[in-house]
A and B are shown apart, each in its own frame.
Chain A
Amino acid sequence: MRSRIAADRLRDLQRITDAALAYLPLETLLDELLVRVVEILGVDTSALLLLEDDDTTLVARAAKGLEEEVERGVRIPVGRGFAGRIAATRQPVHILNLDEAEVVNPLLRERGLKSLLGVPLLVEGSVLGVLHVGTLTERAFDADDTELLQRAGDRAALAIFSRLTERERGLADALQRSLLPRLPQLPAVSLAGRYLPAAAARLGGDWYDAFALSDGRLGMAIGDVVGHGFHAAAIMGQLRSGLRAYALDGMPPGEVLERLNRLLRQLEPGRTSTIVYLVLEPHGGLLTVATAGHPPPLVHPVDGDARYLELPSSVPLGAARHVLYDEQEFELAPGSALLLYTDGLVENPGEPLDAGLERLRATVQRGDEDLERLGDAIVDELLPEGPGNDDAALLVVRALPLSDTLLAQFPAEVESIPFMRRLLGRWLDEAGATAAEIDDLSLACAEAAANAIEHAYGLAPGVVELRASASNGGVAVVAVRDFGSWRPPRGTHRGRGLLLMEGLTDDVEVIHDDEGTTVELSRRIGEEAA
C-alpha cells in the first residue's frame, strides 16, 4: 500500500517536472518543483542550493517556506554544515533534531526547524547542488521519503543541468563571438585565429586579439586568464580592452604589460593571467615581444626549422605589484609564420608538456602555406578528440612575400597613409633600395596619397591604388591612382606636398584621364649599393 502511495507521489512529481521542462523558465520550474515537494512529502519548507562556478560555495537559489534564504543570498561553504556536508559527501543527510547538529545557516534555527532531510543534486557523477526539506516538528524521515526526495533531486538536477549548459552554451557562444576579434585586413599580411571552448561548455579565460596600429604596424596578443566561468571570461574581456587601449595609445609592448598588470591588480586582486603581446613591423619584419609568463610563440622561418622564441622567464600579470616587462626583438622575414597559442592546445593529461610542444612544432614545420588550413591542421593534430578540459586559442600570422610588381588598394582615408607608406617601404627594401631611398619614396608616395584622399573624393568613400615596379636599369616607378574628379590642390600644405614629391624623387608626372588621376613618381634606386 505504502509503495503504491509512493508511486503515485512520484508520478505527480514526474508530471510537474516533465511538463515544466518543456517551456518553463528555470527559476519558475524550480519554484514549482519545491511547491510539489512540500505538498507530496508533507513538510514545512524546501530549499534548493546550487554550486558556484568555483566549486567551493553553495548559493540558495529557490525556497518554499524559507524564502529569506534566497532573499539573503545565503552562501554555504562546501563541507561545512548541513547542506555543505551533503555536497561534500554526495550522500543524503537526515537530521532528526536540529538542536544537536552543526548548522552553518542561522536561518534554519531562526525559522524554528526541527528535522531536516537533504539530498545531493547529481549529474554524471558531479554535484550541482543540494535539495533539502524541513519540518517544524520532529520527524523521522524514512527510506521512501529519502528515495522520493532523491528522485525529485535527480529530476531537478537534469533540468538544471540542461538549462545551465544550454544557457552557458548560449552565453559562451555570444561571449565568444563578441570577444573574438575581427582580424584586421592588411595588405601582404595574412592572419588566422581559432578559439576552442572546453568540452564541458564551461567558459574559459583564453583570448587573442590582432589589430592595426595607427602607424601601420600590427599588434597581436594572446592570453589566458586563470580560472573558469563567466567571471574569468569577463576579466578576459576587460584585459583585452585594456590592452587595445594602451596599444593604440602607442605604448611599446613592455609598458603595455606593465599597465595591464596594474589594471588587473586594481580590477581583481588575486587574479592572474598570462599574456604575450607582440608588435610586428611588416616592412623589415621587426618583431618586438613582451611576455608575462605565457608559453613562448613559435616561429617557422621561410627556409629553416620551426622553433620557439627564446624569451626570459617572466611572471604572469597580477602576480606581483611592481614588475618590469622586458622587450625582446626578433626578425620575422617575409614568408615566415608566427604562431601564438595557449596551453590548452599543448597540455594533455598524463603527458609531459614537452611532448605537446614538440607535436605543435612538428605540425607547424610540415604545415600548409595557407594559414586557414594550417590552423585546421593544428587543431586536428593537437586536439584529435576535440576540445579537452581546458579551452584553447591560437593565432597565426604571416608577412607575405611581395611580388615583382606591387599592387594594392586602400580606403581613401587619412588612416590608410601609414599602411601604404610601410607597404611600399617593404617592397622597395626587397627591390634593393637603400634606407634613404625608401624614406624619400615612401614620403613622396604618402604626399601623393594625401592629395588623392583630400581632393579626389570630397566626403564620398573612395579607393586609392598603389602600384610599384622597378626597371632593369634600377629605376623604381611608384604610381598612386585615384578614381575621383580632379581638382587642383588647395591650401599651402598641399603645395608643399608637390614640392616634397619633386624634391624627393627624380620625376613627378600627374596624369588625368576619364577615370581619375594618377601621380607617377620615378626614382633611381640602389645607388649606394651600386
Chain B
Amino acid sequence: MSFEHEPRVDYRNAVGVVTLTGDVDIVQAHALRNRLLGVVRNEDLGLVVDLTEATYLDSVGVSILFELAERLSERQLRLAVVLPENGIVQRVVTIVNLASVAEIRNTVDDALAAVES
C-alpha cells in the first residue's frame, strides 16, 4: 500500500533507522503501522525512529510508537526515538511520556548508541 510521505528505511549494522516525514497521524496510521512493524529484521538489535523531519504527530501516531516499543521489548529489543529540540512533535512526545518505553535522543548517532549499548 502506498501512502503519503513514504518512510525512509536505512540499516546501520544491526539497527534499522526509519525516518518519518510529514504528518504522522490518524489519516496515515494504518499504512504506517504495517510498514513499521515490518522493518525489524530477525538479527537486529533494535530500531531507531527519526522524527526530526515529521511535521505532526497525533495520539494515533503516538500509539503506533508505543505498540512498536512493546513488540520490540517482547523480543528483548530496544526502541530509540530521535526528536528535534522543540516543536509540536517534541511537545507531544513529552506530554505522553514516550520516554517510559523508548530512549529519546536528539541525533541519530546518539540514538544508535543508545540501542547498541
Interface residues in B68-84 by Cβ distance below 8 A to A read: none
Q: Are A440 and B88 in contact (CB under 8 A)?
A: yes
CB distance from B102 to the nearest CB of A (A): 14
Distance of B21 from chain A, by nearest CB (Å): 10
Q: Which residues of A contact B9 (CB under 8 A)?
A: none
Within 8 A of B (CB), among A250-272: 250
Contact A214 B27 (CB under 8 A): yes
Q: Is B35 an interface residue (CB 8 A)?
A: no
Of the candidates B3, B66, B88, B95, the one whose C-beta lies within 8 Å of that of A436 is B88
- Cα–Cα, bound, A98→B11 (Å): 78
Complex Cα distance, B95 from A427, in Å, reads: 25
Encoded as 1 (CB less than 8 Å from any A CB) or 0, chain B from 54 to 92 comes to 001011101100100000000000000000000110011
Interface positions, chain A 479-510, Cβ under 8 Å from B, are: 492-494, 496-497, 499-500, 503-504
Contacts of B88 in A (CB 8 A): 436, 439-440, 443
Residues of B within 8 A of A215 (CB): 4, 22-23, 27
Given A250-B5, A443-B88 in contact, is the A494-B27 Cβ separation under 8 Å? no
Closest to B66 in A: A492
* Residues of B close to A496: CB separation below 8 A: 59, 62-63, 96
Cα(A63)–Cα(B51), bound, Å: 72
Q: A414–B58 contact, CB under 8 A?
A: no
B99 within 8 A of A: no
- Which residues of A366-420 have CB atoms within 8 Å of chain B's CB atoms? 414-415, 417-418
In the complex, which residues 1-48 of chain B have their Cβ closer than 8 Å to any Cβ of chain A?
A: 2-5, 22-23, 25-27
* CB within 8 Å: A-B pair count: 68
**Number of chain B residues whose Cβ lies closer than 8 Å to a Cβ of chain A:** 22
Residues of A within 8 A of B27 (CB): 214-215, 414-415, 417-418
Given A414-B27, A499-B96, also A450-B58 (CB < 8 A):
yes
Chain A residues with Cβ under 8 A from B26's Cβ? 414, 417, 446, 450
Interchain nearest-CB distance for A434 vs B (Å) = 12
A447 to B63, CA, bound (A): 13
Contacts of B96 in A (CB 8 A): 496, 499-500
B87 near A450 (CB under 8 angstroms)? Answer: no
Q: Within 8 Å CB of B59, what residues of A?
A: 447, 450, 493-494, 496-497, 499-500
User: CB within 8 A of B58: which of A249, A440, A443, A503?
Assistant: A443
In the complex, which residues of chain B have a beta carbon less than 8 angstroms from the beta carbon of A450? 26, 58-60
Residue interface mask B89-107, A partner, CB < 8 A = 1: 0011001100000000000
Q: A443-B58, A493-B63, A500-B96 are in contact. Are A250 and B22 (CB under 8 A)?
A: yes
Residues of A at the B interface (CB closer than 8 Å) are 214-215, 249-250, 414-415, 417-418, 436, 439-440, 443, 446-447, 450, 492-494, 496-497, 499-500, 503-504
19 A-B contact pairs sorted by A residue (CB < 8 Å): A215-B4, A215-B22, A215-B23, A250-B4, A250-B5, A414-B26, A418-B25, A439-B88, A440-B88, A443-B92, A446-B26, A447-B58, A492-B66, A493-B60, A493-B63, A494-B59, A497-B58, A499-B95, A504-B95
**Across the A-B interface, the 8 shortest Cβ-Cβ residue pairs:** A250-B4, A503-B95, A493-B63, A439-B88, A497-B59, A496-B59, A493-B59, A496-B96
